Structure formats: structure tokens, C-alpha cells
Structure 1
Amino acid sequence: MIVKTIKQNEFYLLRSIRLKTLVSFCFAIVFFTIFIDIVNQPKSGSSFYLNLTEVKSHIVDEKFLSLGLDTSVVASNFKGFNFTSPKLKSLISNLSPCYFRVGGNLADMLHFSVNGTDYRTREISYNAQNYTDFNMTATEWTNLNKFVSDVKVNLIFDLNALRRLQNGAWDSSNAKDLIKFSSDNDFKLYWELGNEPNSFYHKFNRSVNASQLGRDFVELRKILDQYETYKSSYLVGPDVTRPRTKDISMYLEKFLRAGARVLNAITWHHYYFNGRTATPEQFLDPETFDLLKIHIKRVLKVTRSLKLDDKPLWLGETATAWGGGARGLSDRFIASFIWLDKLGLSAKMGVSVVMRQSIFHEHYALLNDDYDPNPNYWVSILYKRLVGRTVITSQNDKNIEVRLYAHCAKKSSFNGTRPALVVFGVNVSPTEAIVKIGGVTSDPLVDSFELTSDSLFSRTVLLNGKPLLLASNHSLPDFKPKVIDLLMGDIVMPKYSCCFWIFRNVNVAACGTN
């Protein structure tokens, strides 16, 4: 029954994408028409050009692909998140180095209870959402810090910004308790204050003025500087939502005018659509992918107007769909394309860090409730293994269904000492694509890593035709490429695929020391 449902979903998706203008006479005729169309349709062509004359290339943070854990997991007393699980530790440590942000809507309802004090004083019901103040105990905080140390990731913790004094300023008393306790225990971590403060009224029926929040960040920096442990600790923010309206851009601007001087990075959040109403077509629509480009440009407009080019730009929380993702979509292969494209497009446009929400819990998680990898985990692992920090300026042709990006390859991804380039991206077309790469010379043998699946709605990912599975000891499989000889023909990109190609001995000066 499950197989039948998946196949039917994929059939209807293909019909909507390829044959929207055809009239359906009966199920059998339509299916036959689609099958013949896909099989007999010639391969599409896609050209990809590299600009090797660029003197200055964008270099992303070494922790570019980072992770998030939603604060709702803390509110549940870490239900299902086993700090001692060897499997969980192994899978997260394989994504190191990375930042590990603990944040989300409930960050602004969290109170640190060091001596058993019960801070559960508020219950807010607004816009059909129920929020309740909750306690995080010293034991839970200690366990979390030990865990991130064990898996070698850098914790970023989002402090409660809705604790307010009568004059509207931030009540830092509870944060001071947490910071002192952390310093006394020599916990190494970075800090945020508030989650999506521009939407506080929408969520909590309360507002925090943007300029006031900026001043609150200045106050937090002063508190951190009182501790030797945290004098050099990052402070990042303000974690506003995607700038879909002018009001959101104005909130960001007012905050930065008041608080930018104490920030180590400017953070904002990005999702494409509502997980509760998402459709399969949205996950494959290049126009949806390009919403990110629009929103990055709006953030850059604000930061450049304030001459803040020296402040790194981070996607402080992001995935496919808000609201925990889309059931039956965000945790399936169909969500792989929009995720890999986000990584490529973000780096190309100057974003330094992308924090994936979430490693665990909800539909958009990289790991399911049993800590088994969802498809986006495999995409993330390959990205971590193959893609280096230096972005190479590139341009796709007008084939909008094939979207490619280029970086210098990680040295660990290939054998040899010569410079190497990785070209990666997605084909969201139901047909193969011939890829021609211009502007670069290389050795004729190319390592190819092709991620596909038997169904867009499957949780199983194939690497060069073979399923990716964990070993019995929870270790990752070998990621073996297939070798393409460019002297024998062009690169053929499979339909509905995510691909990475390693080109060795390239004439790309920026990759000489990558």
C-alpha cells in the first residue's frame, strides 16, 4: 500500500510538471503518454561557465554547513535526544567542524534553573499557538555542553530576549546566572539573544523595539566581557525572519544601527514556504529556489547601506519549509535539490555560514527519531567531504532546471597535490542533461558522485546507483566515485539528481592552496 501511494504521488507530480497542457482521457493513456515522453525525449543541454579572471573570491567559514537543534527539544527535557547514544554522536561528529545552534521559538520562553527555582510563570496562547515558560536545569545544561564537546562542534546558545524590565530593557538576571554557571564550569560556547524578534508580536503578543534590542546586545557583550572565558566568545544576531517585507528590513536596519558594533556575525532566518501547505511542485520549482536570491539581496542592501561589509552574513536558521517542515516531503529525496541549491547559492552570494534546522526532531530533521539519516543528511555529508571554502565565480545558461556551482575542492576529496575544482548542483528535470563546463582546463578523468533515488518520495538515496547505508557500528559507508573520461564524451547528469564532480589539475589560481 505504501509503495502504491508513493508511485501514484510521483506519477501525478510528473504529470503536473511535464504535461500541464495535455487533456487526460484515462489513466492508462495518460501513463503511457508520460512514459514515452520521458524515455524518448532527447537529453537537454546545459552550459556552465567559470570566471577565472576574478582576483578576489569569496571564502566561506570553515563551519559553513552548520547545524541547529530546536529549543523545543530542550522544552521536552531532551525527549528522544540521547546524549550518550554512540549512533547519534557518530552521525553528528561526521558533520564537524560546524556550529551547533540551540534556538527556536521557545528560546524566548526558556529559563535557566540553577538551584531548582521554578520559572514557569507564563502561558501564552496567541494565533492558535500555545507557549509556556519552561525550565532548563543545570544538569541538562551540563549534559548538553558535554555532548557538544564529545562530538567536537561549537555550541551557540540562544538566550531568552523576552525577559523584560518595566522600562522595556532586557532583564539579564537569568542570563547572568547561566553565564556565570557556564564560566565556572569552563563551558566553551557562543551566544545569541532572541529568536526572530521582529515577529514577537505575531507569536507572543509582545513586541521588542529594534533599537532597544540592539542596546540589549551591547549590554550582553559587556556581561560576557566580565568573564575571561567569554571575552573572545562570538555574539551573533539578531536572527530576524526572511526580509519578505520592507518592515522586516527596517527592523534589521534599526537593530544594526544600535548593536552592530558588538556583533561577530549578522544572522537571519530563511525558509521558502509553509510546511503545512507545501506541495511537491514547490520542492522542484526553480522560481522557488530563487526566492533565496531575492532575500539575500535585501539583507545585503541593508548591511551595505550601513557599511557593514566586514560583518559576516549568516543564515542562522534555515531549512525547506517553516513549521517543522512538510510531512512526507522534507524528509524525502525530493527535498535534496532545494537544500543543495541553498548551499551553493548562499556561498555564491556571499553568505558565510548556513545553519540547518534541525539535526533532530520534526519533518525537516537530518536524522529521524531512530537517528537514521534522512536524504538531506547524505547531501550534507557529501558536501562536507568534497566542497572547499573558496567560491569560484560561475554562471549557468538559460536551462533553469540545471543549477550548478563551483568551489575549490577539499584536498581530502582527491589524491594528489595539484589544484582541484568541484562543480556541484541539481537537475530537477525528468530528463537527463548534458553538461558542458567552460572556462577551465583539467585532467580528462573526472570523479563523479551522483545522488539519485528510485522515487522522489523515498528516504533511500543512491550514490552512483547503490544505496547509502550505515554500517552496523554506525560508521559511514565508503563514498566511491565513478570515473568519467571527458575524452569519451560529455558529462551526463541523471534526471532528478544531485551531483558533484571533481576536476583535477585545473587552471584555477584560487585553488592552488585550497
Structure 2
Amino acid sequence: MWQAFENGTGANLTLVCLNEEEELEHIDVQRGILEAASPVFQAMFKHEGFLEKQSGSVKIREIHPEVLKSVLRYLYTGILSNDTNVPIQEVLIAADRFQVEHLKILCEEKLCRNLDHEKVLDLAFLAQDYHAKYALDYAIQGIIHNFPHVAMGTHLIAEKWKHFRFDSKKLINLARGLEPCYFRLGGTAADLAIFQENPLPYVRPSFSGVEKCFSISAWGQGACEDLSQLYQTGNFTFGKSDWIQLNDFIKTVGWKFLFDVNVLLRNGDHWSAANARSLLDFNHQQGFHGTSWELGNEPNAYFHKFKIRLSGEQLGQDFRALRHLLDEYPGYENSSIVGPDINGVRKCANLKKDKCKAVLFLQSVLKHSGRAIDKITWHHYYLDGHKATLKDFLSAEVLNSLQPQMDLIKRGLEASNHSHIPIWLGETSSAYGGGVQGLSDRYVAGFLWLDKLGVAALNKYSVILRQTFYHGSYALVNEQLNPNPDYWLSLIFKRLVGIRVLELKQGLNNGTLRCYAHCHRDISGGVTVFALNIGHRSEVIKLGNQLGNSTVLHYILSPPKNSLKSREILLNGQTLKLNEFKDIPPLNPIRTSKTTHLFIKAYEMAFWVFPELSLKICS
């Protein structure tokens, strides 16, 4: 076909490329091919203002002839030109202009494959201006730093938010400290929540056990193992005041909202979108844009939780229905859909991908969802919150259990041709079931958290959603709205660690000493190395030629009085806490020069910043 184009075979129309009013080139084409592939060309050829009947020509303004030929090559052959002299971003702009959607996608994919770190903002602006959703999502992952993001349970709505005070200066400052940050409202109760603009006062069901389930001190602590009764009669409502104050808080602290929609509102075998539509109507009316959406929570475990079954095929179709619903609202067509939030991958540690029920469920959802899902999510916890001990929190074997699960997910996505979709840890912490009381909110939990951030970055995970920001033994912020040790660890990580991962010698991250390296977040050419030592003796890290004799900023984290169960954490020997004005204090390092070795004592965590390396890859 392309040869026919080049030879002018069958041509019955001429495209005239104009720069202002100067004719640059005449291109002969077959009108029928262009009309079939582009609704814009079809409309132009029927409009007298574009088509000059006597000459049989159409004027094309402000598109370079070589760019137009790249578009035409695709229309004739279905192949994107590899001509490096034609800027691919210009082809994308032309494809958007002529509404050739698949060509746009090919251009976006090529831009993302060849993306330099320095060009990520340029890509974001280009993608935003020309409705390039795939490229925009990719670019945003580079702008919003990977690593700590936060989640909370929807059940807090039923508890009237308890001690979570949206107007608390202390809480606002703590939340702002973690921006940029996704905030997920989800969890088990997401599939019990129903939106009503003006809901009746919530009345808890009277059957046995529900009071325990809705107790803020017991939720997730084993009191709600069987929620089938709760599903039958325990749905609760949230209203416009809940939605407004939540969105206002998110805007105030600079977060991005990720909301988990109730998928168990069914119309026969299909998801009923009526309640979601009511929520979207109100959300659109209020001007709350930029929300990302989930559909259901841990759906492959619904029979265990609710005694109902939902197949991967049906859930995939439900995701498509959510995509169609969002597309009905102006400005929502680029809203991200995240899912399917599966769990249970840890049960498959010794199984192949084609034997793991969780991975098979994931593959089925993706197969039947079309292109509806923009980010793939699964949930990970190292331990059982009802059984784990201090020894488990210091176990290299426990830490090493994460990588095989990530490998299993990766192989499953490769086998189903979905490896191009970004992967998130959609809900994660030290131990499921609300965490381990007296451990998950103490200093020792930091080892599991810091190592998970390092491993996830090595595996190119773009978002890690920490369960939870508030509430439960695994929370970053406790019931009195004071930061737990993992909050400070997350804050330091956010400030020092950039998105580009650097390679270290093998063997440094599979035993009791575990090290990782990244470009610094803000210092051009700077490098951040972070490490944890779960062994009972001090370790020495010898710096190589590239890092040796450098200026180093030391951020050493340790427990007060060597108590691993401490609620506090020391930075270079000083307790981290908010100041008298409820503000986050300066995080001051110790500075050394001509450093050749790094030291980390038993049960310490550390960040070392090399600000003067001028490493080209980090510039």
C-alpha cells in the first residue's frame, strides 16, 4: 500500500501543506483510505470550506509535510514510521488533530520508551495538551515520587472519623510533610459504603458481632473475620458533608485522591453503577477533579469475607463499565482506574504462576477489562498480625519473602501480555489484620518498611500505598494524631530519595545488612544511599573509588535506649518530634568530608547523602 502511495496509484485527492499561506508541498492520496481511518478527514472532505471541488484539493495548515507523511504512512500501512528526522511528538500532535487514536498510542509508547529523566516534565505538558492519557500517566509517575503514599479505611466514615480532625494544624502539617502523595480511601468497608447526598443518621445493625466490627479499636484485629452477615445487613451510608470535608482536606495538604467504589452493589451478575453515578454527579457538581478510582477491595477473597463469588471475567467487565461511566463526564475521560487490588499472593510463594489462584484471577480480570485498568494493584503484608513476634520483624527470611511474590506477579503479567501496565502495591504494611499490637507502630517496624521501599523501587513499582496513615497498629499517625516512627522514616525517605535507582554490588540486600542507592531527590548529581542493619553487630561499608573521599551527610536512625519496641525514633541521637508550634522540625544531618567508610550499628537504619558527586546520570 505504501508503494501505491509513493507512486500516486489510485490517488483522487491532493493535500496541500501550508505554512501561513505559503504552499510547502502537494501530496496525492486516496480519499477513501483517509475517510475510513479518520473522522476528521471524513468531515473535512464533506465541508465546502475545506474541499476545493475544481482542483480536488484540501488545504492542511500548520503541519510539516514530513509529519503529515508519517500520519499517512500509518493510515496506509498501520505502521509507525521509524524516520528519526520526524519528531515523534509532532506526529502525536497531528494524530490527535485527526483523531487517529491508535497512532496516538503508538506515539505515546515510543515517547515513553525513549524518555530521558530530564524530559519528564516536557512529556507531561505535551500529554496533557493533546489528551495523551498513556503518556500523561507515565510522566506523572516520574514527577510524583515513587515510594510512600498512604491509605485509610472507609470504615472510618461509619465511625464519624473518630479522632481524625480535619482542621487539626498538627494533622495538616503531618500530611503536608508527605506530599506529593496519593491518598487511598478503601479497604474491606469500601464494599459496604453507599453514597447518599443527605443520608439518614447511621444506625448500626443489631446482630451479634457488628458492634465489635465497627469499634475503632477492634476493626481489623480479628473481630470481623466473617463479614457475610455484615454484608447482608450492614451497609452504611456516607453523604455530601463527608465527601466535601475529605476532598477539602486532600486539597489543603496537596494530596491526590484515590477512591475505592463499592463493587458489591449488583444488578444480577453485573455491577450496578447507579450509586457511583450519584457520587460522580455530586463530585462533578462540586468541581472535585483529579480523582482516581478503584472498584472493589480484594475481590478474589470475597467468598472468604462475604460468602459470595465474583469471577475475574465478571469483574473485568465491571471495570469496563466503570470506564464507560467516567467517560460520560467532561474532564473525567483521563481519570485513572486502578485495580483489581488482589491479595493472597504470599500463599503462592512456592507455586508457579499458572498454579497461583491470585495470579490467575488477576490475569482473568485484565483479559476481560480491555484497556480500562491503568494501574495494576495487589496487596502485600509480610506477617499475620495475630501471630507475628519481635523475632519475625528482625528476620532476613521474612524480608526476602517479598521478591519472589513480585517475581510471580511479573511473570503472570508477562504471560498475559500486560507487562506494559504500571504496577502498584495498592495496600501494604508489616502485618495484616490491623498490624501487630506493640510492634507495627514501634521502631522495629521500620526495618520491614524501609526494606520494602528499597525492593519495590528496584522492581520499578511507581506507587506504594501504606496502610494506614491513621488508625490501627500499623498507622503512621496514632489516635492522638502524633507521628509513629514509620512516619518519620517515610518523611526522611521522601526528602532524600529520588526516583532513579542505582545499582549496588550484589549481596548487599539479602542478609542482615541491606543497602540501596538512588539519585538524590533534589540535589543535581547527588546520590542517596540508605541501609538497615537487623543483625546484632555493627557493620562497615567500604566506599569505592567513585564514592570514596567524598563529603557525606549522615542521617542515622536509632531507638532510644536501644529499645526496639520504642514509640520514638532518634535522628543522630535526637528524638524526632513536632515542635511547640506543631510544625515538622529541621532534619539536620551530620556532615563529614573525605569519607572512605560508612558505619551502621546493630539495629540502626541510615541514610547517607553524597551531595558533591556530580554524577551525570543524576544530573
Report the TM-score range of the alignment, normalised by the length of the smaller protein: 0.7 to 0.9
What is residue 169 of structure 2 aligned with on the other side?
Answer: 86
Determine the C-alpha separation between the residues in 2 that align with 1:108 and 1:344.
Answer: 32
Change (3 A) 1:203 1:431: same
SS in 2 for 1:277: coil
Partner of 2:272: 171
TM-score (norm. length: structure 2):
0.70
Counterpart among 307, 312, 319 of residue 429 in structure 2: 319
Over 3 Å counting, the alpha-carbon distance change for 1:124 and 1:343 in structure 2 is farther
Counterparts of residues 272-351 of structure 1 (less than 5 Å): 272-351=382-461
Q: Conserved in 2, the CA contact under 8 Å of 1:406 and 1:424?
A: yes
Match of 2:316, SS state, is: helix
SS of residue matched to 1:347: helix
Amino acid at match of 2:599: V
2:283 to 157, 171, 182: 182
Q: Quick one: which amino acid aligns to residue 474 of structure 1?
A: K
Distance in 2 between the 1:157 and 1:301 partners? 28
**Root-mean-square deviation (CA), in Å?**
2.3
Q: Which has the larger radius of gyration?
A: 2
Q: Where does residue 600 of structure 2 map in the other structure? A: 493
User: Do the aligned partners of 2:145 and 2:498 also contact (CA within 8 Å) in 1?
Assistant: no
Cα distance in 2 for residues equivalent to 1:484 and 1:410:
20
- Alignment partner of 1:237: what SS? strand
Q: Is the 8 A contact 2:258 2:294 kept in 1?
A: yes
Indicate if the aligned counterparts of 1:61 and 1:352 stay in contact, CA closer than 8 A. Answer: no
| 1:115 CA drift (Å) | 3.6
Structure 1 residue 113: Cα displacement: 1.1
Partner of 1:372: 482
Q: 1:360 to 1:260 in 2, by over 3 A?
A: farther
Q: In the alignment, does 2:215 pair up with 1:114?
A: no
Partner secondary structure for residue 292 of structure 2: strand
SS in 1 for 2:586: coil
Aligned twin of 1:230? 332
Partner Cα distance (1:287, 1:101) in 2: 30
Distance 1:165 1:119 in 2: 24
Q: For residue 198 of structure 1, what is the aligned residue in structure 2?
A: 300
Partner residue in 2 for 1:502: 609
Indicate how the Cα distance of structure 1 residues 215 and 120 shifts in structure 2: closer, same or farther if over 3 A, else same. farther
1:154 alignment partner AA: K
Give the Cα–Cα distance (whole angstroms) in 2 for the partners of residues 509 and 306 of structure 1. 37
Report what 1:432 is aligned to. 538
Q: 512, 519, 532: which one pairs with 1:401?
A: 512
For residue 492 of structure 2, the aligned residue among 382, 392, 397 is 382
Q: Do the aligned partners of 1:242 and 1:271 also contact (CA within 8 Å) in 2? A: no
For residues 302-354 of structure 1, the C-alpha deviation after alignment (integer angstroms, 9 at most, x for no partner) is 11112223211000110100011000000100101110000011001121110
The CA distance in 1 between the partners of 2:225 and 2:470, in whole Å, is 26
Report how far residue 441 of structure 1 moved.
3.5
Q: Is the Cα–Cα contact under 8 Å of residues 120 and 133 in structure 1 kept in the other structure?
A: no
Change (3 A) 1:485 1:443: same
Contact kept? 2:471, 2:478, Cα under 8 Å: yes
> Counterparts of 2:293 and 2:203 in 1: how far apart (Å)?
23
Shift of 1:276: 1.2
- Asked if structure 2 preserves the Cα contact closer than 8 Å seen for 1:90 and 1:475, the reply is yes
Seen in structure 2, the aligned counterparts of structure 1 residues 345 and 445 have a Cα distance that, compared at 3 Å, is: same
Aligned residue-pair number = 451
Give SS of 2:554's match: strand
Q: Match of 2:424, SS? A: strand
1:478 corresponding residue in structure 2: 586
The secondary structure found in structure 2 opposite 1:356 is: strand
Give 2:16's aligned residue: none
C-alpha displacement of 1:117: 6.1
Distance 2:394 2:593 in 1: 30
- Judged with a 3 Å threshold, the aligned counterparts in structure 2 of structure 1 residues 325 and 348 are, in CA distance, closer, same or farther, namely same
Cα pair distance change 1:441/1:249, threshold 3 Å: same
2:539 aligned with 1:423: no
Cα deviation per residue 1:146-176 (whole Å; 9 max; x = unaligned)? 111111100100000111112x110111111
**What letter is aligned with 1:404?**
C
In structure 2, what is the equivalent of residue 29 of structure 1? none
Aligned to 1:62: 144
Q: In 2, distance between residues paired with 1:397 and 1:424?
A: 15
CA–CA distance in 2 between the matches of 1:331 and 1:396?
31
Cα distance in structure 2, aligned partners of 1:403 and 1:502: 17
C-alpha separation in 1, matches of 2:594 and 2:515? 18
Q: Which residue of 2 aligns with 1:27?
A: none
- The structure 2 residue matched to 1:456, chosen from 560, 564, 571, is 564
Closer/same/farther in 2, CA of residues 230 and 448 from structure 1, 3 Å limit: same
Conserved? CA contact 2:184–2:260, under 8 Å: yes
Q: Which residue of 2 aligns with 1:11?
A: none
Distance 1:275 1:165, change over 3 A: same
Is the 8 Å Cα contact of residues 543 and 597 (structure 2) preserved in structure 1?
A: no
Taking the aligned partners of 1:140 and 1:257, their CA distance within structure 2 comes to: 35
Q: CA deviation at 1:389?
A: 0.8
- The worse-fitting range, judged by mean Cα deviation, of 358-367 and 222-231 is 222-231
1:60 Cα offset (Å): 5.6
| C-alpha deviation, 1:442, in angstroms | 5.8
Given the alignment, which residue of 244, 247, 252 partners 1:150?
252
CA contact (8 A) 1:198 1:248 kept: yes
Match of 2:103 in 1: none
The higher-RCO structure (CA 8 Å, 6+ apart) is: 1
Q: Distance in 1 between matches of 2:530 and 2:279?
A: 43
Tell me how far apart the structure 2 counterparts of residues 97 and 75 of structure 1 sit (CA, whole Å): 28
| Local SS of the residue matching 2:369 | helix
Greater CA drift, 503-512 or 366-375: 503-512
Cα shift readout 1:401-422 (whole Å, capped 9, x = no counterpart): 00011110012xx5xx5x1110
- TM-score calculated relative to the size of structure 1: 0.83
- Give the 3 Å change call, closer, same or farther, for CA 119–159 of structure 1 in structure 2: farther
Residues 321, 112 of structure 1: CA spacing in aligned structure 2 closer, same or farther, 3 A cutoff? same
